[in-house]
Amino acid sequence: EKDENIKLFTITKQEKEKLLSQEILPFEIMNRQIEQEIEKNRKVVIVIDELQSLKGIYIDDEQMLFQELINYFVRITKVEHKAQVILVTSNAYFIEEIFTDTKLEGAAEFVFLDYLDDAEVYAWLLKRKFEEKEIEYILDKVGGYNWLLMQIIMRKKKNEDWQQLIKNAITQSKGKVITAVNHIEDTKFKQKVIVALKQLINNKGEQNLAFGSFDRKVLDFLIENEIVFYDPVNAKLKIQFRPFYYGIKQALSEYQGTTEEEEWFPD
């Protein structure tokens, strides 16, 4: 009988049938397999990435999947000491919801991973033989956006046009903003989003939520579309990365005053 892999744990076909018929709960299978690993003197570490993808999924009419899952994780870590659990999300605002809606508060440590700061980027690029004016350009347009920095360095090594990578990143960011806003059907809400984007640009890509907070729906929209991320340590909104800042600026520069029936952004 072949086993089936469901990312974190392995189930047999028979167990799958019982799960589908609700004869057993997934937590029972998870618990049994964790205990099997412990019997083999193995440390159990469970990692779940993009936790926010579980948002809105219900086990039944009342129980949300992520709530039950996290409460289970609290039990196996803090109460039973069977495992360690690492939860990763690109939506830090969702983390605050989790702390409020589950037993996670007081039972977990929050670690905020940001992009590289300018000093780190400067030292990194200097070691890789970038000229001062090139470093200044990259700091301005890219900042500490790790992935793009790596691509730039690889292009530089091959004597290829690395500046085009930056231009492409800005253009793609602009397109993402325009597409997201154009999909908003409610004209008044669309205008609120545009005002929020302008506010972010005027504040150099940041917004302190303690002073002049955005409308909650606008906040959710910007975060869910990965235009901004939430820094829960400092209660700030920040534009995802530096190319996005310039992408938003370009998108806003194309904004034209229109009637309610027309698009807020051009196609």
Please say whether the dihedral angle defined by the alpha carbons of residues 220, 224, 227 and 233, taken in this order, is positive or negative. Answer: positive
pLDDT of 51 higher than 90: no
Give the pLDDT band (50/70/90) at residue 155.
very high
pLDDT of 265 higher than 50: no
Q: Which residue has the higher pLDDT, 164 or 66?
A: 164
Query: What would the mean pLDDT of 163-169 be, rounded to a whole number?
Result: 95
Q: What is the per-residue pLDDT for 128?
A: 92
Each residue of 207-261: pLDDT tens digit? Answer: 766 545 678 888 889 888 888 887 777 777 888 889 999 999 999 988 654 333 3
Q: What is the per-residue pLDDT for 126?
A: 94
The model's pTM:
0.71
Give the pLDDT band (50/70/90) at residue 154.
very high
> In the β-sheet with 206-208, what is the strand arrangement from edge to edge?
206-208, 236-239, 228-231
CATH of the structural domain 172-253, one choice from 3.40.50.12780, 1.10.10.10, 1.20.58.1880, 1.10.238.10 = 1.10.10.10
Q: CB within 8 A of 76, min separation 6: which ones? A: 31, 34, 82, 83, 85
Q: What is the per-residue pLDDT for 259?
A: 32
Spacing of C-alpha 211 from chain mean position: 24
pLDDT of 2 higher than 50: no
**Domain spans of the chain, in order of start:** 3-101, 118-169, 172-253
Residues 49 and 7 sit within 8 Å (Cβ to Cβ) = no
